[in-house]
């Protein structure tokens, strides 16, 4: 396989995996991430995706090992800290997870995903105010990702019917329509 075609295939498999992940089809998503990693064992986005899939499948220790590899390989990536934070949290190490989320925000303040993951962390911890704050930051950083479809993420389910949650989404929808 030519190098360009191989890279394109890796990216396509990873994107398909992320699309499946977004539809809560975690087992299938994991398979696509593993297919991509078979072609490039240290492809950053596929490593992160694999770690996320494993956390959703309740395989926190495996997820943490994958997240550690991504962070070891790409130590300046805020998303890698965010992913490891989710894995640490699911492994019952929430204090360490919080430190990773803070580092993620420092490194990738412009990336909505670090705020979104931090909101999920606080939702799972039952801290509604911090969940609301970081979800709001995620929405402001990338309103186009949330303007029409509220996230179906089970991590935020406990607050997805709250008035503040629905108001934030309605505000973004209104803003998108007026643009």
pLDDT digits (tens, 9 = 90+) for 18-72: 999 988 899 999 999 999 999 999 999 999 999 999 999 999 999 999 999 999 9
Q: Is residue 132 in some structural domain? A: yes
Return phi, psi of residue 161, to 5°.
-105, 5
Q: How many domains does the chain have?
A: 1
Q: List the domain range (segments joined by +) for residue 144.
A: 110-179
Q: Is residue 5 in some structural domain? A: no
Q: Is residue 164 in some structural domain? A: yes
Q: Is residue 125 in some structural domain? A: yes
Q: Is residue 11 in some structural domain? A: no
State which H helix or E strand residue 29 sits in.
Answer: helix 26-39
Q: Is residue 80 in some structural domain? A: no
Q: Is residue 2 in some structural domain? A: no
pLDDT digits (tens, 9 = 90+) for 155-177: 788 898 899 988 888 887 777 67
Q: Is residue 43 in some structural domain? A: no
């Amino acid at each position: 396989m030519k190098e360009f075609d191989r890279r394109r295939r890796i990216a396509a498999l990873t994107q398909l995996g992320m699309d499946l992940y977004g539809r809560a089809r975690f087992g299938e998503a994991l398979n696509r991430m593993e297919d991509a990693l078979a072609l490039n064992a240290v492809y950053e986005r596929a490593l992160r995706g694999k770690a996320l899939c494993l956390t959703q499948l309740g395989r926190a220790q495996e997820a943490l090992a994958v997240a550690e590899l991504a962070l070891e390989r790409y130590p300046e990536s805020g998303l890698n800290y965010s992913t490891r934070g989710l894995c640490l949290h699911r492994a019952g190490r929430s204090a360490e997870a919080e430190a990773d989320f803070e580092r993620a925000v420092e490194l990738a303040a412009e990336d909505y995903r670090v705020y979104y993951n931090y909101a999920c962390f606080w939702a799972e911890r039952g801290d509604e105010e911090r969940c609301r704050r970081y979800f709001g930051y995620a929405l402001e950083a990338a309103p186009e990702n949330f303007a029409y479809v509220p996230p179906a993420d089970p991590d935020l389910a406990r607050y997805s019917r709250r008035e503040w949650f629905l108001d934030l989404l309605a505000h973004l929808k209104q803003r998108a329509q007026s643009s």
